Amino acid sequence: MTEVDIVALRRGDELAFRTLVAEVHSTLFRLAMIYSPSRAVAEETVQETWIAVLNGLDGFAGRASLRTWICRILVRVAQRRAGQETRDMPFDSSSAHEPGASAVPADAFVSSGPRAGRWVSVPYSWSFVPEDRALSQELVGEVGRAIGALPAQQREVITLRDVEGWSAAEVSELLEISPGNQRVLLHRARSRVRASLDHYLGMPPNPPYVDPIAA
């Protein structure tokens, strides 16, 4: 992230503000979408966030990064709009340690005997994906859909890490969870999305739409 000039921002410099907005807009909008019922509400949430950011600039102490601080404001604004008052999002253990939820269902592995723990049938390679551009684009769309279906905390982590490219440390700081917990959420999220893609790739051409992950 480019260094935004806080001094210039506080001074009311328009270019500094436009630079900052351009930097964080994608992240803000995507975070807002996690809590908002529509794009229109998400856009309003983002606008309201910027008002709060400008009014709160004097009080920004620089303990967290500017980007983290702005995103925390956004999550508060979004949750308040959605009628959820508490920002203190404790690490949602139900989302991270879903009982019986593993990266790959247990029945994909041999359950007993000398081959216990090994694949029942070996996963196939997706190596054709990068070669087939049309398929790639289709899969990007499918990934977007699968991410949209995730529980909120998993969706937050995978959006920030894999879609928006934040580091593990930044995500942990924003969500106020340990790097380990952040990784558990990311693991759950990636597992669901991978499984969704796997199912999608296994489908015959032009099937009737079937939700691959039962809720």
Partner 1 sequence: MAGVDEMKCQEFVERTTDHLDGALSARDRERVLHHLDDCFGCEHHLDQVRATVLLAGALGSEPLRVSQEVRLLALHRSWARNVRT
| Residue 109 lies near partner 1 (rule: CB under 8 A) | yes
Task: Work out whether 125 is an interface residue with partner 1 (CB under 8 A).
Answer: yes
Which one among 64, 82, 149, 168 touches partner 1, defined by CB under 8 A? 168
CB 68 within 8 A of CB 126: no
How many angstroms separate the CA atoms of 107 and 89, rounded? 34
Find the binder of partner 1 among 140, 178, 203, 211 (CB under 8 A): 140
C-beta separation of 62 from 69 below 8 A: no
82 binds partner 1 (CB under 8 A): no
Q: Pick from 30, 54, 25, 41: which is nearest to 81 by CA? A: 41
Q: Does 104 bind partner 1 (CB under 8 A)?
A: yes
Q: Which helix (H) or strand (E) holds 5?
A: none
Mark the segment that binds partner 1 (CB under 8 A) among 73-81, 88-96, 161-169, 202-210: 161-169
Minimum distance, C-beta of residue 47 to partner 1, in the bound complex (Å): 6
On whether the CB atoms of residues 182 and 159 are closer than 8 A, the answer is no
What's the min distance (Å) between Cβ of 138 and partner 1? 10
Q: Which two tokens stand for residue 17?
A: 């503000």
Judged by CB under 8 A, which of 14, 85, 88, 131 binds partner 1?
14
104: helix, strand or coil: coil
Among 56, 93, 118, 211, binds partner 1 (CB under 8 A): 118
Helix pair 66-81, 14-35: axis angle to 10 deg: 40
| Single-letter code of the amino acid located at 17 | F
Residue 199 in the binding site for partner 1 (CB under 8 A): no
**Smallest gap from residue 37 Cβ to partner 1 (A):** 17
Please report whether residue 198 would count as binding partner 1 according to CB under 8 A.
yes
3-state DSSP assignment of residue 65: coil
The C-alpha atoms of residue 133 and residue 111 are separated, in whole angstroms, by 38
Span from 67-75, 78-86, 97-105, 207-215 in contact with partner 1 (CB under 8 A): 97-105
* Largest Cα–Cα separation, the chain: 71
d(CA 157, CA 114): 38
User: Given the rule CB under 8 A, which residues bind partner 1?
Assistant: 10-14, 17-18, 21-22, 25-26, 29-30, 43, 46-47, 50-51, 54-55, 102-104, 106, 109, 116-119, 122-127, 129-130, 136, 139-140, 143-144, 147, 158, 162-163, 165, 168, 179-180, 183, 186-187, 190, 193-194, 197-198
